[in-house]
Every structure is written in structure tokens, then in C-alpha cells.
Amino acid sequence: AQERYAIIWPEKSARAASGNFAELLEQIVARKPWADGVVEHIALSSGFVQYPQMAEAAGELLEKAGAALTAALEKGPNNFEIYRETANIKAEGE
């Protein structure tokens, strides 16, 4: 099942937050979580936007984060992407 969450990382640029995410991602996927005696596979992907440089309205921020997430998912599991206008154009053209 796919879950989607929004994380607000105040006072960090999208590039700085993505670096922190990359470190966190490495640690999470290296672990082998157990659920009911079964090893679960975890994959994380993320789309980053920066407020207010990329958008000011919450809805627009989420839309652009979604476009960046779609671009990250297209690269495969355990990837992240910072929003770019080209990612948004592709998402709108689908």
C-alpha cells in the first residue's frame, strides 16, 4: 500500500532538506523491519518544494510536491526529486 505524507521542514532550503532526506532514507532502507514475524520491504520516495520560492499557497505547494514525487517515482523506488517547472509540465501533459 502506498502512503503519502507532507513534511514541513522549516528554515531549510529544498536542497538542504533533500540532503537530510537522503541520509534518513539510507538508514531506513538498511533496516529490516518486522511485522508479525515477516520482514517487510520499505521503499521511500519524496518530492520537495520550497516555500515561498516555488509557491506560497498550500494547495499549489502540495500540487508541485506531487509533481516532484511523480518524477521521483518514475526513477524507481528510494528516490527523491526537487520540484522543477519541467516536472510540472510533464505532469500536466499526462
Closest CA to 87 of 56, 70, 57: 70
Asked if residue 85 is part of any domain, the answer here is: yes
Domain residues for the domain of 74 are: 14-93
- Give me the half-sphere count of Cα atoms (radius 13 Å) on the Cβ side of residue 2: 8
Which secondary structure element, helix H or strand E, spans residue 34, and what is its range?
strand 34-35
- pLDDT tens digit sequence for 45-92: 888 898 888 989 999 999 999 999 999 999 998 888 999 876 444 555
Closest CA to 80 of 32, 10, 17: 17
Which secondary structure element, helix H or strand E, spans residue 66, and what is its range?
helix 58-74
Asked if residue 71 is part of any domain, the answer here is: yes
Query: pTM of the prediction?
Result: 0.71
What is the total count of domains within the chain?
1
Asked if residue 2 is part of any domain, the answer here is: no
pLDDT at 87: 47
